[in-house]
Amino acid sequence: MTNPLLNTAAWSALGAHADATRKLHLRDLFAADPGRFASLSFEAEGMLLDYSKQRVTTETLGLLHDLWRAADVAGWQSRLAAGEAINHTEQRAVLHHALRHRGDSAVMHDGRDVMPDVRRVLDHIKSFCDAIHGRHWRGATGEPISDIVNIGIGGSDLGPRMATQALAAHRHRDVRVHYVANLDGADLATTLEQLQPRTTLFVVASKTFTTQETMQNAASARAWLVGALGEAAVERHFVAVSTNLKAVAAFGIDTANAFEFWDWVGGRFSLWSAIGLPLALAIGFDNFTRLLEGAAAMDRHFREAPLAENLPATLALLDVWNTNFLGAETHAVLPYSQSLGLLSRYLQQLEMESNGKQVGRDGQPLGHATCPVVWGEPGTNGQHAFYQLIHQGGRLIPCDFIAARHADFALPGHHEKLLSNCFAQSEALMRGKTLAEVQAELAAAATAVAPAPTFPLAPYKVFPGNQPSTTLLLQTIDPHTLGQLIALYEQKTFALGVLWNLNSFDQWGVEYGKQLAGRLLPIIEGKAPATGLDSSTAGLIAACKP
């Protein structure tokens, strides 16, 4: 077995502890310890983390802390900070934390400080934001820009898209930002039909400027613009986030309007880089800076806070407990905030692309489960969809509830109801409802006007409970807090990779489908014979021919 933690006393002790405590019910743990919340919650960085509704005891936490030390997570933190190529399969350092690093200290990579380059690109972003927001940048007809369309995919789309929605309360009033990612023409077409070419600017985000989805969408957007304004307009209506300046110039974009980032920035960790340009345009550079500061504060907390009060460490260890010792296969992320409506999708990419692997750092099978399936939807919408399954579906589904003390859109009467639903759901999942309790409720409700049903209704209304959940309570959704929240889950993902002995920073599983698509495209286009295909693929291609 490739993960050395499997052979440690800490892992064995947790296995024995899980067997001994498996039949404990959360309602009994709360009844036995009225002070459970005080001992299994803490506040840090303005966030309150309540994990008292997880199926853990203080003994569980002590054993998980032993596992953390056995994995030498602190040593891996030092290696990451030192710029070592911990992404060993691609021989790359992992330095996205440098993008939000504050202060004058150096961040080294290959013997040089990367911070001057980081600050240079930030200055470029600032000057461009100033030009757009100050209405100094003009399109080909001399009009200011009112709409920005980001064309990217994966990390070049979902991070800034999620954050733009999350920070809608802080958006710049004169600029609307749109996102196009899907290769399906419906994504681009329905976006363009809302826009005017003369006041639209496109940001093409692709490190290599060769990503198939991005470049097809960019080519179609270019044709739309040129058809309306002519070839010369491209230079005033397109900018790039890329390092392939030759391809950028060939597209017709002035290379002075190309924003750089580096190979030590992984796609799903790139929000903080020039990939965040559309976000900075959406919320203003000052707010973008506050986002970076929030993330830097969480980085510092992860390095310095003791284990018992460390937010990313606690979330990571709870994931290991639920996944490897209690057998959970999924993890629901349930923000009670419409502004965080894309957070679960963002975390799907962050966590599942990073840790959805079964081969360890030594190239051998791990021999244990890793990343659970991450999913979710904002409350209260999800309550009218999949909560039924969480409550009564018979599966173990750990949940992260995320809420804010104060609303970002403070309409009277809304936020108190939202919070009451959030806290009620975590209580119901913890407590459940017994058959005896249901029978007593039915008996009390039965009257001459509304008699008891003639069939036994009680079994249908029983809730097993004992579903583990964590509640993360923020102050509000603002740029600083969102930066903290995103970095919290980034650091949790990194820690889980260490605990599971994975390289969290490659994504070879994404490549195979791309290779096959490249082989099939000329066949579908009729430019190559349909040879060497399985019968299903050949049949599907044939069914699409005219």
Strand partners, 203: 150, 239
Whole-number pLDDT of residue 48:
98
Q: pLDDT by residue (tens digit) across 267-316? A: 999 999 999 999 999 999 999 999 999 999 999 999 999 999 999 999 99
Q: pLDDT by residue (tens digit) across 216-272? A: 999 999 999 999 999 999 999 999 999 999 999 999 999 999 999 999 999 999 999
Is 514 labeled as catalytic in the residue annotation?
A: yes
Whole-number pLDDT of residue 39:
97
Backbone φ and ψ for 381, nearest 5 degrees, come out as: -55, -45
Asked if 180 contacts 150 with a C-beta cutoff of 8 angstroms, the reply is: yes
Architecture of domain 4-80+291-431+467-506: 3-Layer(aba) Sandwich (3.40)
Q: How confident is the model at residue 444 (pLDDT cuts 50, 70, 90)?
A: confident
Which tokens belong to 320? Answer: 């290991």
Residue tagged active-site, from 384, 406, 414, 417: 384
Average pLDDT over residues 361-374: 96
pTM, two decimals, is: 0.97
Q: pLDDT by residue (tens digit) across 114-126? A: 999 999 999 999 9
Average pLDDT over residues 518-540: 95
510-543, what's its fold?
A: Phosphoglucose isomerase, C-terminal domain (1.10.1390)
Asked if 192 contacts 224 with a C-beta cutoff of 8 angstroms, the reply is: yes
Q: How confident is the model at residue 212 (pLDDT cuts 50, 70, 90)?
A: very high
- Domain-wise residue ranges, the chain: 4-80+291-431+467-506, 114-283, 510-543
For residue 455, pLDDT beyond 80: no
**CB atoms inside a 10 Å sphere around CB 509:** 12
Q: Give dist(CA 297, CA 100) in Å, integer.
A: 9
Q: Give dist(CA 70, CA 211) in Å, integer.
A: 41
Mean pLDDT score across all residues of the chain: 96
Asked if 248 contacts 228 with a C-beta cutoff of 8 angstroms, the reply is: no
Whole-number pLDDT of residue 451:
64
How far, in Å, are 142, 190, 239 from residue 233 at the CA level?
11, 22, 12
Q: Does domain 114-283 have CATH number 3.40.50.10490?
A: yes
Q: pLDDT by residue (tens digit) across 491-523? A: 999 999 999 999 999 999 988 999 999 999 999
Q: pLDDT by residue (tens digit) across 391-415? A: 999 999 999 999 999 999 999 999 9
For residue 2, pLDDT beyond 90: no
Whole-number pLDDT of residue 446:
76
Whole-number pLDDT of residue 453:
65
Whole-number pLDDT of residue 454:
65
Amino acid, single-letter form, for residue 503: N
Q: pLDDT by residue (tens digit) across 34-65? A: 999 999 999 999 999 999 999 999 999 999 99
Residue tagged active-site, from 45, 351, 353, 377: 353
Whole-number pLDDT of residue 481:
98
Average pLDDT over residues 12-35: 96
Whole-number pLDDT of residue 456:
87
Is 384 labeled as catalytic in the residue annotation?
A: yes
CA-closest candidate to residue 91, choices 210, 209, 237, 264: 264
Return the DSSP state at 353: H
Whole-number pLDDT of residue 450:
66
Is 527 labeled as catalytic in the residue annotation?
A: no
Whole-number pLDDT of residue 73:
98
Domains 114-283 and 510-543 share a fold: no
Q: Give dist(CA 205, CA 276) in Å, integer.
A: 10
Q: Spell out the residues 6+ positions from residue 311 whose beta carbon is closer than 8 angstroms to its own.
A: 44, 45, 47, 49, 298, 301, 302, 305, 488
How far, in Å, are 6, 360, 366, 476, 501 from residue 1 at the CA level?
8, 9, 6, 44, 11
For residue 448, pLDDT beyond 60: no
Which tokens belong to 301? Answer: 């907390």
Return the DSSP state at 451: P
